[in-house]
Amino acid sequence: MQQPNRPSMADRAQEAPVIRTTCPYCGVGCGVLASEDDGDVTIIGDPVHPANAGKLCSKGLALGSTFQDEHRLLQPRVDGKPVDWDKATTLIARNFLDTIEQHGPESVGFYVSGQLLTEDYYVVNKFVKGWLGTANIDSNSRLCMASSVVGHKRAFGSDTVPGCYEDLDSAELIVLVGSNLAWCHPVIYQRIMANKAERPKLKIVVIDPRRSITADSADLHLGIKPDGDTLLFNALLNYLHEHVNFDEQYIDKYVSGCTKALLKASQSVSHDLAERLGIPEPDLKRFFDLVATTPKTMTIYSQGVNQSRNGTDKVNAIINCHLATGRIGKPGMGPFSITGQPNAMGGREVGALATMLACHRDLDNEHHQSQVQRFWQSPAIAKKSGLSAIDMFRAVESGQIKAIWIMATNPVDSLPDANRVAQALAACPFVVVSEVTNKSDTLAYANVALPVQAFGEKDGTVTNSERRISRQRRFAEPVGQARPDWWAVSRVAQLMGHVDAFDYHRPAEIFTEYARLSAFENNGSIDFDISACAQLSDDEYEALEPFQWPRTEARPAPIKANTAKTGQHAIRFFAKGKYYTPDGRARMIAVDSASPGNSQLSDHYPLLLNTGRIRDQWHTMTRTGYTPRLMGHRAEPFVELNASDALIHGINDADIVLIKSPTGQVFVRAMLNDRQPPGQVFAPMHWSDQFASQARIDTLIESTSDPLSRQPASKNQAVSIQRFAANSFAFLITRNEPQLRDCRNIEYWAMSPIEVGWRTEIASTLSVNDLIVQLLHFVYDGKRSSELQQIDYCDHHTRRFAWFNRQEKLHAVLFLEPLPVELSRTWATELLSKRFDTKYGRSRLMAGRAASDQPDKGAIVCSCFHVGDKEIVRTITSGECTTTDAVGHLLGAGTNCGSCRNEIEVLVKLHSKDMNAQSAY
Ligand code: SF4
């Protein structure tokens, strides 16, 4: 077979002006080259960006297809009616002024997002903390890394990530804790895999209750019980001490608290440690030995650590091991938290959490309050922590907060106990929502909706997980009346009377002010210092190269051509102490070993739900959900569960199931596999009411938080599961998006865009005949029956319909059965692009089968080249391919972004085994 015939993206990028910018999805912060030509956007990796050196994952590569103007919010709206910006901003200013006058500054709140650019973040934070005088501003970053922030501050005195990506290239042991890096931060994962290929001695350990796709390529997977991490790392600390691995010199010079931390750690160790953790004893010993004997150890962690009732303690238990061994701030070693969002780190720097001031100043530090207020010359300054995300929406519910402004986030889907959040917003007197899309569930609760600029239109900076600030540049004209977020906030602030302080015209003005604040009375006392950027001209700002902070007069510019991989010189912290604590020493923290598991399990709720992301989706799908190539990977909301649990609960593979918790319920598709340990299930958090009837996973999550970081525990929820006893099932293909959202009497539907049209899976307690009646409405979609020609097929089980328009083009196809509809989805999803001008073609359509020369692709594995799992398995079982590379050579799969290579690897291992077994037989 030939390599797939595909357009050269590099060639296309040369046709239009190419702009260097940064991917808007995850905290890896990959550089991209973008060009726009008459609405056609081309994206490739930026070969000289230090974060990715030209690589992109499937989401980054599909960015060009996410520019869909039909889903954009184009004009401000008040109570659903279009207005101009003047009217909308005047209304906001008047409402916020009135509310504050009547109820004080604590009666307003701002819920912002790691999708904002630093310049947006800076202006809104300045407005709220300096001019409104409250700290009631929190970022949705609270949901992804607040525990790391608090853990860093406890240990280092500052929220500093000590290392950098370059450490991956010299580390000899990489420990991934609570991180499905292969799907959530694919470019970092691929860098590790490239290192592993080059240096086979590099060892990878994955610590995760489920055997994620990342764990498949690890040398060792420790499937610990949920929330067992503090116990595990306390035990590791104890082991390192017993085996004389502590760096006594480093501890003497730079660390305090070691004795107490060790005492606490030793108390948690017992002879049945492995059993308490749920890990085989030899695996535990192997892990301890690997860490003990490998000085160049990196511990990378993300949401599995942070999103926990004891997330901060987990972070400190990890950091303790690095401090005790002096493995920090040197090449190839250190603790490393990876952020979820593209500018979560920028929000931390700028102070957009309710618990901090700008530029790494502390809210509870009077000197810092004075510094920031004097720099801003503001009439007020927040003096105590504001309400963090969950508490803010509780305050909306209780009526304390009477006006809230939500920017670039979708809390009705993404916050825990999401139904309660929706109810709180419904009762709130004044809700402002700044949005890019008109398809956000939160928008339904807005009194005022503001259209803001999207990726490609925005202009500013973001900071990635390794403290690298990069420009996100504009390469497309804003659509409709979309404006920058910083502009909308400045406009409202000015209308409230603060004219001079918010007289911003360009992002460069904001960035240089921010840089000046970072330097203000700093003198090395605060880690975050970008004073070298304080005097940038507009042109210099425009041309700003990606750089790691600190960037001061002493360290003014990136040093070029230092290493072949990045071309830059990596900046690390703490190899020689100099922590930002009062005595300059790091603090090891004595942490309790929380009991693994979940005490909320009961007969009613016997299973633990773990939530997370999938490879090709982003947050609540407002951008990625409308891209067929990304939806092809997983087209429906699903839950993964172990076959033993499925047996107990009477569930078969691909059944629709009802999951319940004390706070909500969802309908999703069951996927049986052995990745989930018995007693635990996993469901992705992406689906919203825009794509499924009831699949908002965060409606299931109770609002338990870490007491120190206030970060919600989203990975350890007690739930029940049962098979949904449907009487009818349907599979519907339509040319237009079916408007099923108001259809309350169909329990399960999930729709997904396909290359031409939409596919929808349906299950209902209605009879087949009653379901037909319901669905015809969506099929006709406003057309008269005389406009469509219908053909159908009926036997005592099956009903099949197809409709053609007057041009003889297929308009819709509907398959119904009392049992799940069995037909090839890849065949069916290509129907709307085919011609049915012969009797034979139409009869094949009614037969529900592809022609024999069109074998089923199966579920899409490679989004770049649209290669399905059945297609790959055929090449393996036929003996054509025995390796991942061979599959890539034959089908192209895995040869572009590489995000699917792990999944191909799994298929090769699984089906090569089948082959071997057959030949042995
Ligand atoms: Fe974007 Fe993927 Fe890079 Fe993350 S890893 S920044 S999603 S291209």
Report how far ligand 1's centroid is from the alpha carbon of 203 (Å). Answer: 24
Best of 52, 55, 56, 189 for a ligand 1 pocket test (most atoms within 8 Å of beta carbon): 56
Same fold, 146-338 and 860-920: no
Report how far ligand 1's centroid is from the alpha carbon of 59 (Å). Answer: 7
Nearest ligand 1 atom to the CA of 187 is: 5
What pLDDT, on a 0 to 100 scale, did the predictor assign at position 153? 97
Q: Taking 70 as the threshold, does the pLDDT of residue 456 lie above it?
A: yes
Give, in words, the CATH class of 860-920. mainly alpha
What pLDDT, on a 0 to 100 scale, did the predictor assign at position 826? 84
Q: For residue 913, what pLDDT band results from cuts at 50, 70 and 90?
A: low
Nearest ligand 1 atom to the CA of 61 is: 8
Report how far ligand 1's centroid is from the alpha carbon of 27 (Å). Answer: 7
Best of 49, 185, 617 for a ligand 1 pocket test (most atoms within 8 Å of beta carbon): 185
Q: How many residues does the chain have?
A: 921
What pLDDT, on a 0 to 100 scale, did the predictor assign at position 541? 96
Report the nearest-CA residue for atom 2 of ligand 1: 57
Find the residues whose C-beta lies inside 6 A of ligand 1: 23, 25-26, 28-30, 52, 56-57, 59-60, 185-187
Distance CA 657, CA 724 (A): 5
Distance CA 816, CA 731 (A): 7
* Paired strand residues for 669: 638, 656
User: Which of the given ranges, 9-18, 269-278, 819-828, has the highest pLDDT on average?
Assistant: 269-278
Fold of 146-338: Dimethylsulfoxide Reductase; domain 2 (3.40.228)
Tokens 């890019």 belong to residue: 436
Report how far ligand 1's centroid is from the alpha carbon of 628 (Å). Answer: 18
Higher pLDDT, 255 or 777: 255
Would you kindly state where each structural domain of the chain is located, as residue ranges?
9-67, 77-144+346-457+477-521, 146-338, 607-723, 728-847, 860-920
Report how far ligand 1's centroid is from the alpha carbon of 787 (Å). Answer: 46
The answer to whether 354 and 135 have CB atoms below 8 angstroms apart is yes
| Strands ordered across the beta sheet of 403-407 | 81-82, 77-78, 448-451, 430-435, 403-407, 108-112, 137-139
Residues of the chain above pLDDT 90, percent: 75
Fold of 607-723: Barwin-like endoglucanases (2.40.40)
Higher pLDDT, 56 or 6: 56
Nearest ligand 1 atom to the CA of 29 is: 6
- For the chain, how many helices (H) and strands (E)? 30, 34
Domain 9-67 has CATH 2.20.25.90: yes
What pLDDT, on a 0 to 100 scale, did the predictor assign at position 290? 98
Other C-beta atoms within 10 Å of 540: how many? Answer: 12
Domain 77-144+346-457+477-521 has CATH 3.40.50.300: no
Q: Which of 704, 607, 713, 705 is nearest to 660 (CA)?
A: 607
Nearest ligand 1 atom to the CA of 52 is: 3
pLDDT tens for each residue of 739-767: 888 787 899 999 999 999 999 999 999 99
Best of 43, 44, 52 for a ligand 1 pocket test (most atoms within 8 Å of beta carbon): 52
Residue type, 818: P
Q: Taking 60 as the threshold, does the pLDDT of residue 582 lie above it?
A: yes
Higher pLDDT, 398 or 632: 398
Report the nearest-CA residue for atom 4 of ligand 1: 26
pLDDT tens for each residue of 198-218: 999 999 999 999 999 999 999
Report how far ligand 1's centroid is from the alpha carbon of 126 (Å). Answer: 30
pLDDT tens for each residue of 525-581: 999 999 999 999 999 999 999 999 999 987 765 544 334 454 457 899 999 999 999
Best of 9, 21, 22, 23 for a ligand 1 pocket test (most atoms within 8 Å of beta carbon): 23
Report how far ligand 1's centroid is from the alpha carbon of 57 (Å). Answer: 6
What pLDDT, on a 0 to 100 scale, did the predictor assign at position 898? 79
Report how far ligand 1's centroid is from the alpha carbon of 635 (Å). Answer: 21
Report how far ligand 1's centroid is from the alpha carbon of 30 (Å). Answer: 6
- Enter the pTM of the model: 0.92
Pairing of strands 255-256, 586-587: parallel
- Least confident piece of the model among 92-101, 459-468, 887-896, 912-921: 912-921
Distance CA 537, CA 539 (A): 5
Tokens 């764990």 belong to residue: 215
pLDDT tens for each residue of 823-872: 888 888 888 888 887 888 888 888 877 665 566 777 788 877 888 888 88
The answer to whether 131 and 289 have CB atoms below 8 angstroms apart is no
